[in-house]
Structure 1
Amino acid sequence: MPPRPQDSSRSPLPSTFQISVPFTSQAPRANWEDPYQEACEEASLLMVHRFLLGEKVGVIPPDDADRDLLALVRWEWIHKYEKDVTLQELADISKMYYEHTPVIEDTVTIERIKELLVAGYPIIVPVAGRDLGNPYFSGEGPWYHMLVITGYDRNEFITNDPGTRRGESYEYAYDVLIAAIHDWTGVKEEIRSGKKRMMILKK
Protein backbone atom coordinates (compact mmCIF):
# COMPACT_ATOMS: atom_id res chain seq x y z
CA MET A 1 0.00 0.00 0.00
CA PRO A 2 1.44 3.44 -0.80
CA PRO A 3 2.49 5.13 2.42
CA ARG A 4 0.72 8.15 3.81
CA PRO A 5 3.34 10.90 3.65
CA GLN A 6 3.91 13.09 6.69
CA ASP A 7 2.45 16.57 6.46
CA SER A 8 5.91 18.14 6.65
CA SER A 9 7.12 16.23 3.59
CA ARG A 10 3.94 15.97 1.54
CA SER A 11 4.27 17.13 -2.04
CA PRO A 12 1.30 19.01 -3.46
CA LEU A 13 -0.95 16.78 -5.53
CA PRO A 14 -1.43 17.82 -9.16
CA SER A 15 -4.63 19.74 -9.84
CA THR A 16 -5.65 17.19 -12.48
CA PHE A 17 -4.59 13.59 -12.99
CA GLN A 18 -5.79 10.54 -14.89
CA ILE A 19 -4.65 6.94 -15.28
CA SER A 20 -5.28 5.32 -18.66
CA VAL A 21 -7.42 2.28 -17.89
CA PRO A 22 -9.06 0.20 -20.64
CA PHE A 23 -12.85 0.39 -20.64
CA THR A 24 -15.73 -2.01 -21.04
CA SER A 25 -19.35 -1.69 -20.13
CA GLN A 26 -20.84 -4.60 -18.22
CA ALA A 27 -22.82 -5.40 -21.38
CA PRO A 28 -20.13 -5.35 -24.09
CA ARG A 29 -22.54 -6.42 -26.82
CA ALA A 30 -25.35 -4.17 -25.58
CA ASN A 31 -27.33 -7.12 -24.17
CA TRP A 32 -28.53 -5.97 -20.75
CA GLU A 33 -30.29 -9.18 -19.76
CA ASP A 34 -28.81 -11.51 -17.13
CA PRO A 35 -26.03 -11.98 -16.35
CA TYR A 36 -24.95 -8.63 -17.78
CA GLN A 37 -27.30 -6.40 -15.79
CA GLU A 38 -25.62 -7.70 -12.63
CA ALA A 39 -22.05 -7.70 -13.95
CA CYS A 40 -20.78 -4.30 -12.79
CA GLU A 41 -18.46 -5.92 -10.24
CA GLU A 42 -16.97 -8.26 -12.82
CA ALA A 43 -16.57 -5.48 -15.39
CA SER A 44 -14.84 -3.23 -12.85
CA LEU A 45 -12.49 -6.04 -11.90
CA LEU A 46 -11.80 -6.86 -15.55
CA MET A 47 -10.87 -3.26 -16.36
CA VAL A 48 -8.33 -3.07 -13.54
CA HIS A 49 -7.01 -6.54 -14.40
CA ARG A 50 -6.42 -5.47 -17.99
CA PHE A 51 -4.67 -2.34 -16.73
CA LEU A 52 -2.36 -4.47 -14.60
CA LEU A 53 -1.58 -6.57 -17.67
CA GLY A 54 -0.25 -3.41 -19.30
CA GLU A 55 -3.23 -2.38 -21.40
CA LYS A 56 -3.56 1.35 -20.96
CA VAL A 57 -5.99 2.89 -23.40
CA GLY A 58 -9.13 2.37 -25.38
CA VAL A 59 -12.14 0.10 -25.24
CA ILE A 60 -11.62 -3.60 -24.62
CA PRO A 61 -12.82 -5.37 -27.80
CA PRO A 62 -16.44 -6.39 -27.12
CA ASP A 63 -15.88 -10.05 -28.01
CA ASP A 64 -12.91 -10.23 -25.63
CA ALA A 65 -14.75 -8.47 -22.83
CA ASP A 66 -17.83 -10.64 -23.30
CA ARG A 67 -15.78 -13.83 -23.18
CA ASP A 68 -13.89 -12.74 -20.08
CA LEU A 69 -16.98 -11.53 -18.23
CA LEU A 70 -18.92 -14.73 -18.91
CA ALA A 71 -15.97 -16.86 -17.82
CA LEU A 72 -15.69 -14.93 -14.57
CA VAL A 73 -19.44 -15.07 -13.92
CA ARG A 74 -19.40 -18.82 -14.49
CA TRP A 75 -16.45 -19.24 -12.09
CA GLU A 76 -18.32 -17.26 -9.46
CA TRP A 77 -21.42 -19.40 -9.95
CA ILE A 78 -19.37 -22.58 -9.52
CA HIS A 79 -17.86 -21.15 -6.34
CA LYS A 80 -21.29 -20.24 -4.93
CA TYR A 81 -21.05 -16.45 -5.10
CA GLU A 82 -24.25 -14.41 -5.28
CA LYS A 83 -24.99 -12.06 -8.18
CA ASP A 84 -24.17 -9.10 -5.94
CA VAL A 85 -20.93 -9.30 -3.97
CA THR A 86 -19.36 -7.16 -1.29
CA LEU A 87 -16.05 -5.43 -1.86
CA GLN A 88 -14.35 -8.03 0.35
CA GLU A 89 -15.84 -10.82 -1.74
CA LEU A 90 -14.62 -9.10 -4.91
CA ALA A 91 -11.18 -8.84 -3.29
CA ASP A 92 -11.25 -12.58 -2.64
CA ILE A 93 -12.33 -13.23 -6.22
CA SER A 94 -9.52 -11.05 -7.59
CA LYS A 95 -7.01 -13.00 -5.53
CA MET A 96 -8.28 -16.46 -6.45
CA TYR A 97 -9.24 -15.85 -10.08
CA TYR A 98 -6.64 -13.35 -11.27
CA GLU A 99 -4.00 -13.88 -8.56
CA HIS A 100 -3.82 -10.18 -7.76
CA THR A 101 -3.18 -8.75 -4.32
CA PRO A 102 -6.19 -6.69 -3.21
CA VAL A 103 -5.99 -3.91 -0.64
CA ILE A 104 -9.18 -2.49 0.88
CA GLU A 105 -9.25 0.91 2.58
CA ASP A 106 -11.93 2.36 4.83
CA THR A 107 -10.52 5.90 4.67
CA VAL A 108 -12.61 7.19 1.79
CA THR A 109 -11.84 10.88 1.35
CA ILE A 110 -11.17 13.11 -1.62
CA GLU A 111 -7.56 13.53 -0.53
CA ARG A 112 -6.91 9.81 -0.06
CA ILE A 113 -8.49 8.93 -3.39
CA LYS A 114 -6.23 11.46 -5.09
CA GLU A 115 -3.17 10.08 -3.31
CA LEU A 116 -3.90 6.55 -4.51
CA LEU A 117 -4.52 7.69 -8.07
CA VAL A 118 -1.31 9.70 -8.23
CA ALA A 119 0.51 6.65 -6.85
CA GLY A 120 -0.74 4.77 -9.92
CA TYR A 121 -3.69 2.81 -8.56
CA PRO A 122 -7.11 2.76 -10.24
CA ILE A 123 -9.70 2.44 -7.47
CA ILE A 124 -12.73 0.14 -7.42
CA VAL A 125 -15.61 1.54 -5.39
CA PRO A 126 -19.05 0.13 -4.49
CA VAL A 127 -21.82 2.70 -4.73
CA ALA A 128 -25.51 3.35 -4.29
CA GLY A 129 -26.11 3.62 -8.01
CA ARG A 130 -29.29 5.66 -7.80
CA ASP A 131 -27.45 8.39 -5.90
CA LEU A 132 -25.07 9.03 -8.79
CA GLY A 133 -27.69 10.73 -10.94
CA ASN A 134 -26.26 9.32 -14.16
CA PRO A 135 -28.70 10.19 -16.98
CA TYR A 136 -27.48 7.26 -19.07
CA PHE A 137 -28.56 4.62 -16.57
CA SER A 138 -31.75 2.74 -17.34
CA GLY A 139 -34.63 4.07 -15.26
CA GLU A 140 -33.53 5.26 -11.83
CA GLY A 141 -30.34 3.26 -12.09
CA PRO A 142 -29.15 0.27 -10.07
CA TRP A 143 -29.57 0.13 -6.31
CA TYR A 144 -26.08 -1.32 -6.04
CA HIS A 145 -23.28 -0.65 -8.47
CA MET A 146 -19.50 -0.69 -8.85
CA LEU A 147 -17.17 1.43 -10.94
CA VAL A 148 -13.50 2.35 -11.29
CA ILE A 149 -12.10 5.76 -10.38
CA THR A 150 -9.32 6.58 -12.85
CA GLY A 151 -8.56 10.24 -12.19
CA TYR A 152 -9.75 13.67 -11.19
CA ASP A 153 -9.88 17.28 -12.30
CA ARG A 154 -10.53 20.37 -10.22
CA ASN A 155 -14.13 19.53 -9.37
CA GLU A 156 -14.87 15.97 -10.45
CA PHE A 157 -13.62 12.42 -10.27
CA ILE A 158 -13.05 10.69 -13.60
CA THR A 159 -14.37 7.14 -13.76
CA ASN A 160 -14.78 4.14 -15.98
CA ASP A 161 -18.42 3.39 -15.22
CA PRO A 162 -19.48 0.01 -16.65
CA GLY A 163 -23.16 0.80 -16.15
CA THR A 164 -23.40 2.58 -19.50
CA ARG A 165 -21.70 2.32 -22.88
CA ARG A 166 -20.92 6.03 -22.41
CA GLY A 167 -19.08 5.29 -19.18
CA GLU A 168 -15.49 5.72 -20.37
CA SER A 169 -13.95 8.69 -18.51
CA TYR A 170 -17.36 9.61 -17.10
CA GLU A 171 -17.15 12.38 -14.51
CA TYR A 172 -18.92 12.69 -11.17
CA ALA A 173 -18.66 15.67 -8.82
CA TYR A 174 -16.48 14.96 -5.79
CA ASP A 175 -19.31 15.27 -3.30
CA VAL A 176 -21.73 13.18 -5.37
CA LEU A 177 -19.38 10.22 -5.71
CA ILE A 178 -18.09 10.32 -2.13
CA ALA A 179 -21.66 10.44 -0.79
CA ALA A 180 -22.70 7.52 -3.01
CA ILE A 181 -19.92 5.15 -1.92
CA HIS A 182 -21.47 2.32 0.12
CA ASP A 183 -20.58 -1.36 0.30
CA TRP A 184 -23.17 -4.06 -0.30
CA THR A 185 -25.33 -4.85 2.71
CA GLY A 186 -27.23 -7.79 1.27
CA VAL A 187 -30.46 -5.78 0.96
CA LYS A 188 -30.74 -3.37 -1.95
CA GLU A 189 -33.03 -0.92 -0.17
CA GLU A 190 -30.48 -0.66 2.67
CA ILE A 191 -27.51 0.16 0.46
CA ARG A 192 -27.10 3.64 1.96
CA SER A 193 -26.24 2.04 5.30
CA GLY A 194 -23.28 0.21 3.77
CA LYS A 195 -19.75 1.11 4.84
CA LYS A 196 -17.60 3.45 2.79
CA ARG A 197 -14.79 1.35 1.36
CA MET A 198 -12.56 1.26 -1.68
CA MET A 199 -10.11 -1.21 -3.18
CA ILE A 200 -6.93 -1.20 -5.20
CA LEU A 201 -5.21 -4.18 -6.78
CA LYS A 202 -1.54 -5.03 -7.04
CA LYS A 203 -0.04 -7.59 -9.40
Structure 2
Amino acid sequence: MTPTLKKLLFFGVVLYLILLGAIIYERYRLLTNDQTASQTESNPIQIDQGTPLPQEATPQEETLPESVRMETPFLSQAPFGIWDDLHQETCEEASLMMVHYFRQKKEFLSLQQANLELVDLVTWQSARGYKVDVAVAELAEIARGYYGLATGRVIVDPTVDQIKKELAGGRPVIVPAAGRELPNPYFTPPGPRYHMVVIKGYDAAGFIVNDPGTRRGKDFRYNYDDLMRAMHDWNQDDINLGRKAVLVFD
Protein backbone atom coordinates (compact mmCIF):
# COMPACT_ATOMS: atom_id res chain seq x y z
CA MET A 1 0.00 0.00 0.00
CA THR A 2 1.45 3.27 -1.01
CA PRO A 3 1.91 6.11 1.45
CA THR A 4 -0.74 8.19 -0.35
CA LEU A 5 -3.33 5.42 -0.06
CA LYS A 6 -2.57 5.02 3.65
CA LYS A 7 -3.20 8.73 4.22
CA LEU A 8 -6.51 8.59 2.39
CA LEU A 9 -7.58 5.56 4.39
CA PHE A 10 -6.63 7.29 7.66
CA PHE A 11 -8.56 10.45 6.87
CA GLY A 12 -11.54 8.36 5.79
CA VAL A 13 -11.63 6.55 9.13
CA VAL A 14 -11.34 9.84 11.03
CA LEU A 15 -14.18 11.37 9.00
CA TYR A 16 -16.35 8.31 9.63
CA LEU A 17 -15.78 8.54 13.38
CA ILE A 18 -16.63 12.25 13.38
CA LEU A 19 -19.89 11.64 11.52
CA LEU A 20 -20.76 8.74 13.79
CA GLY A 21 -20.16 10.87 16.89
CA ALA A 22 -22.31 13.66 15.51
CA ILE A 23 -25.19 11.24 14.85
CA ILE A 24 -24.94 9.74 18.35
CA TYR A 25 -24.85 13.22 19.95
CA GLU A 26 -27.92 14.41 18.02
CA ARG A 27 -29.95 11.36 19.04
CA TYR A 28 -28.94 11.85 22.68
CA ARG A 29 -29.99 15.53 22.56
CA LEU A 30 -33.38 14.73 21.10
CA LEU A 31 -33.96 12.01 23.69
CA THR A 32 -33.03 14.38 26.54
CA ASN A 33 -35.40 17.11 25.26
CA ASP A 34 -38.29 14.62 25.05
CA GLN A 35 -37.73 13.56 28.66
CA THR A 36 -37.59 17.20 29.84
CA ALA A 37 -40.81 18.03 28.03
CA SER A 38 -42.50 15.01 29.57
CA GLN A 39 -41.42 16.07 33.07
CA THR A 40 -42.72 19.58 32.44
CA GLU A 41 -46.14 18.29 31.44
CA SER A 42 -46.38 16.02 34.48
CA ASN A 43 -45.13 18.79 36.82
CA PRO A 44 -46.77 22.01 35.61
CA ILE A 45 -45.22 25.30 36.72
CA GLN A 46 -46.90 26.81 39.77
CA ILE A 47 -47.61 30.50 39.12
CA ASP A 48 -47.65 32.66 42.22
CA GLN A 49 -50.91 34.55 42.14
CA GLY A 50 -49.73 36.90 44.85
CA THR A 51 -51.23 37.48 48.26
CA PRO A 52 -55.01 37.81 47.97
CA LEU A 53 -56.16 41.38 48.51
CA PRO A 54 -58.17 41.81 51.69
CA GLN A 55 -61.84 42.33 50.97
CA GLU A 56 -63.20 45.71 51.94
CA ALA A 57 -65.11 45.45 55.17
CA THR A 58 -68.81 46.08 54.90
CA PRO A 59 -69.56 49.24 56.87
CA GLN A 60 -71.58 48.51 59.96
CA GLU A 61 -74.75 50.50 60.41
CA GLU A 62 -74.28 52.89 63.30
CA THR A 63 -76.46 52.07 66.27
CA LEU A 64 -78.05 55.13 67.84
CA PRO A 65 -78.92 55.31 71.53
CA GLU A 66 -82.57 54.68 72.33
CA SER A 67 -82.79 58.08 73.97
CA VAL A 68 -80.72 61.25 74.43
CA ARG A 69 -81.36 64.25 76.64
CA MET A 70 -78.88 67.12 76.95
CA GLU A 71 -78.99 69.67 79.75
CA THR A 72 -79.41 72.69 77.50
CA PRO A 73 -80.20 75.91 79.41
CA PHE A 74 -83.68 77.26 78.67
CA LEU A 75 -84.51 80.82 77.70
CA SER A 76 -87.89 82.19 76.71
CA GLN A 77 -87.73 84.76 73.93
CA ALA A 78 -89.68 87.03 76.30
CA PRO A 79 -87.80 86.45 79.57
CA PHE A 80 -90.19 88.65 81.60
CA GLY A 81 -93.31 87.53 79.77
CA ILE A 82 -93.64 90.90 78.02
CA TRP A 83 -94.58 90.08 74.43
CA ASP A 84 -93.91 93.44 72.84
CA ASP A 85 -93.00 93.88 69.17
CA LEU A 86 -89.33 93.12 69.82
CA HIS A 87 -89.88 89.98 71.87
CA GLN A 88 -92.48 88.63 69.49
CA GLU A 89 -89.62 88.18 67.00
CA THR A 90 -86.69 86.93 69.06
CA CYS A 91 -87.10 83.15 68.82
CA GLU A 92 -84.01 82.96 66.57
CA GLU A 93 -81.85 84.93 68.99
CA ALA A 94 -83.11 82.98 72.01
CA SER A 95 -82.43 79.67 70.24
CA LEU A 96 -78.89 80.76 69.35
CA MET A 97 -78.25 81.91 72.92
CA MET A 98 -79.39 78.57 74.35
CA VAL A 99 -77.02 76.65 72.09
CA HIS A 100 -74.15 79.07 72.76
CA TYR A 101 -74.54 78.82 76.52
CA PHE A 102 -74.75 75.03 76.28
CA ARG A 103 -71.48 74.95 74.35
CA GLN A 104 -69.88 77.25 76.93
CA LYS A 105 -71.21 75.03 79.74
CA LYS A 106 -72.83 78.11 81.27
CA GLU A 107 -76.23 78.98 82.69
CA PHE A 108 -78.07 82.28 82.33
CA LEU A 109 -77.14 84.26 85.42
CA SER A 110 -80.48 86.05 85.63
CA LEU A 111 -83.46 87.04 83.53
CA GLN A 112 -82.12 90.59 83.48
CA GLN A 113 -78.76 89.49 82.09
CA ALA A 114 -80.38 87.21 79.52
CA ASN A 115 -82.77 89.92 78.36
CA LEU A 116 -80.00 92.50 78.03
CA GLU A 117 -77.98 90.09 75.89
CA LEU A 118 -81.06 89.24 73.83
CA VAL A 119 -81.76 92.91 73.10
CA ASP A 120 -78.10 93.60 72.35
CA LEU A 121 -78.02 90.71 69.90
CA VAL A 122 -81.08 92.09 68.08
CA THR A 123 -79.49 95.56 67.97
CA TRP A 124 -76.20 94.14 66.65
CA GLN A 125 -77.79 92.24 63.80
CA SER A 126 -80.18 95.04 62.90
CA ALA A 127 -77.21 97.41 62.55
CA ARG A 128 -75.70 94.97 60.06
CA GLY A 129 -78.71 94.77 57.82
CA TYR A 130 -80.39 91.60 59.04
CA LYS A 131 -84.17 91.57 58.94
CA VAL A 132 -86.51 90.67 61.79
CA ASP A 133 -86.79 87.08 60.54
CA VAL A 134 -83.62 85.22 59.55
CA ALA A 135 -82.96 81.88 57.90
CA VAL A 136 -80.68 79.30 59.52
CA ALA A 137 -77.78 80.20 57.20
CA GLU A 138 -78.07 83.83 58.33
CA LEU A 139 -78.24 82.72 61.95
CA ALA A 140 -74.95 80.88 61.41
CA GLU A 141 -73.45 84.16 60.13
CA ILE A 142 -74.77 86.02 63.17
CA ALA A 143 -73.26 83.39 65.47
CA ARG A 144 -69.90 83.86 63.78
CA GLY A 145 -70.01 87.64 63.96
CA TYR A 146 -71.47 88.09 67.44
CA TYR A 147 -70.11 85.12 69.36
CA GLY A 148 -67.13 84.17 67.20
CA LEU A 149 -68.82 80.80 66.73
CA ALA A 150 -67.62 79.78 63.27
CA THR A 151 -68.58 76.11 63.24
CA GLY A 152 -72.18 76.45 62.08
CA ARG A 153 -73.35 73.78 59.66
CA VAL A 154 -76.67 73.79 57.80
CA ILE A 155 -78.14 70.38 57.00
CA VAL A 156 -80.66 70.48 54.17
CA ASP A 157 -83.47 67.91 54.02
CA PRO A 158 -82.41 66.13 57.22
CA THR A 159 -83.91 62.82 58.20
CA VAL A 160 -84.98 61.90 61.72
CA ASP A 161 -81.96 59.62 62.02
CA GLN A 162 -79.59 62.38 60.87
CA ILE A 163 -80.95 64.66 63.57
CA LYS A 164 -80.67 61.86 66.13
CA LYS A 165 -77.04 61.33 65.12
CA GLU A 166 -76.26 64.99 65.81
CA LEU A 167 -77.98 64.79 69.18
CA ALA A 168 -76.18 61.56 70.07
CA GLY A 169 -72.94 63.39 69.25
CA GLY A 170 -73.74 66.06 71.85
CA ARG A 171 -74.85 68.76 69.39
CA PRO A 172 -78.22 70.49 69.95
CA VAL A 173 -80.11 71.14 66.72
CA ILE A 174 -81.78 74.46 65.86
CA VAL A 175 -84.95 73.91 63.84
CA PRO A 176 -86.82 76.62 61.89
CA ALA A 177 -90.52 75.99 61.52
CA ALA A 178 -93.87 77.18 60.28
CA GLY A 179 -95.00 78.02 63.80
CA ARG A 180 -98.69 77.56 63.17
CA GLU A 181 -98.03 73.98 62.14
CA LEU A 182 -96.58 73.18 65.57
CA PRO A 183 -99.12 71.61 67.96
CA ASN A 184 -98.15 73.66 71.00
CA PRO A 185 -101.16 74.40 73.22
CA TYR A 186 -99.28 77.20 75.00
CA PHE A 187 -99.00 79.42 71.93
CA THR A 188 -101.36 82.38 71.80
CA PRO A 189 -103.63 81.62 68.81
CA PRO A 190 -103.00 81.49 65.93
CA GLY A 191 -99.35 81.04 66.92
CA PRO A 192 -96.20 82.48 65.34
CA ARG A 193 -95.96 82.53 61.55
CA TYR A 194 -92.24 81.71 61.75
CA HIS A 195 -90.56 80.08 64.71
CA MET A 196 -87.39 78.36 65.91
CA VAL A 197 -86.82 75.73 68.57
CA VAL A 198 -83.80 73.85 69.89
CA ILE A 199 -83.90 70.06 69.86
CA LYS A 200 -81.99 68.81 72.90
CA GLY A 201 -82.86 65.12 72.84
CA TYR A 202 -85.21 62.37 71.79
CA ASP A 203 -86.85 59.19 73.01
CA ALA A 204 -89.39 56.69 71.73
CA ALA A 205 -92.17 59.30 71.78
CA GLY A 206 -90.40 62.00 69.77
CA PHE A 207 -88.08 65.00 70.05
CA ILE A 208 -87.36 66.82 73.31
CA VAL A 209 -87.00 70.56 72.70
CA ASN A 210 -86.47 73.89 74.35
CA ASP A 211 -89.20 76.02 72.76
CA PRO A 212 -88.56 79.73 73.42
CA GLY A 213 -92.09 80.64 72.30
CA THR A 214 -93.57 79.92 75.73
CA ARG A 215 -92.43 80.06 79.33
CA ARG A 216 -93.42 76.39 79.50
CA GLY A 217 -91.08 75.54 76.65
CA LYS A 218 -88.38 73.73 78.63
CA ASP A 219 -88.27 70.01 77.80
CA PHE A 220 -91.35 70.37 75.59
CA ARG A 221 -92.08 67.41 73.34
CA TYR A 222 -93.04 67.22 69.69
CA ASN A 223 -93.56 63.87 68.06
CA TYR A 224 -91.33 63.13 65.11
CA ASP A 225 -93.96 63.58 62.40
CA ASP A 226 -95.23 66.91 63.75
CA LEU A 227 -91.83 68.58 63.97
CA MET A 228 -90.53 67.19 60.68
CA ARG A 229 -93.71 68.30 58.91
CA ALA A 230 -93.60 71.81 60.42
CA MET A 231 -89.88 72.24 59.63
CA HIS A 232 -89.48 75.11 57.15
CA ASP A 233 -86.66 77.62 56.76
CA TRP A 234 -87.57 81.27 56.35
CA ASN A 235 -89.45 82.11 53.15
CA GLN A 236 -90.79 85.63 52.88
CA ASP A 237 -93.57 84.76 50.44
CA ASP A 238 -94.90 81.59 52.05
CA ILE A 239 -93.31 80.00 55.10
CA ASN A 240 -94.77 76.65 54.12
CA LEU A 241 -92.61 76.76 50.98
CA GLY A 242 -89.42 77.20 52.98
CA ARG A 243 -86.89 74.42 52.56
CA LYS A 244 -86.34 71.71 55.14
CA ALA A 245 -83.14 72.60 56.98
CA VAL A 246 -81.56 72.68 60.44
CA LEU A 247 -78.51 74.32 62.01
CA VAL A 248 -75.90 72.61 64.19
CA PHE A 249 -72.55 73.73 65.57
CA ASP A 250 -69.56 71.37 65.64
Please report the TM-score for the alignment, with normalisation by the length of structure 2: 0.74
Q: What's 2:137 paired with? A: 88
Higher relative contact order (CA 8 A, sep 6+): 1
Pair 1:12 & 2:45 matched: no
Counting only pairs closer than 5 Å after superposition, residues 40-119 of structure 1 correspond to structure 2 as 40-55=91-106, 61-100=110-149, 101-119=151-169
Change (3 A) 1:112 1:7: farther
Quote the offset at 1:7 in angstroms: 7.6
| Whole-Å separation in 1 of the counterparts to 2:218 and 2:109 | 11
Counting only pairs closer than 5 Å after superposition, residues 11-30 of structure 1 correspond to structure 2 as 11-30=62-81
RMSD: 1.5
Q: What's 1:142 paired with? A: 192
| Whole-Å separation in 2 of the counterparts to 1:153 and 1:64 | 33
SS at the partner of 1:184?
Answer: coil
Quote the offset at 1:55 in angstroms: 2.4
**Structure that is richer in helix per residue:** 2
Please report the TM-score for the alignment, with normalisation by the length of structure 1: 0.91
Quote the offset at 1:92 in angstroms: 0.6
Please list the CA deviations of residues 81-113 of structure 1 after superposition, one character each: whole Å capped at 9, or x if unmatched: 111011111111011111112111114111001
Counting only pairs closer than 5 Å after superposition, residues 140-179 of structure 1 correspond to structure 2 as 140-179=190-229
Q: Is the 8 A contact 2:156 2:245 kept in 1?
A: yes
Which stretch shifts more, 89-98 or 47-56?
A: 47-56
Percentage identity across paired residues of the two chains: 44
Segments of structure 2 that go 5 or more residues without pairing to the other structure are: 1-56
Following TM superposition, the consecutive aligned residue runs of length 4 or more in structure 1 with deviations greater than 3 angstroms are none
State the number of aligned residues: 193
Segments of structure 1 that go 5 or more residues without pairing to the other structure are: 1-5
Equivalent residue for 1:124, pick from 155, 174, 178: 174
Quote the offset at 1:60 in angstroms: 5.8
| Whole-Å separation in 1 of the counterparts to 2:109 and 2:244 | 29
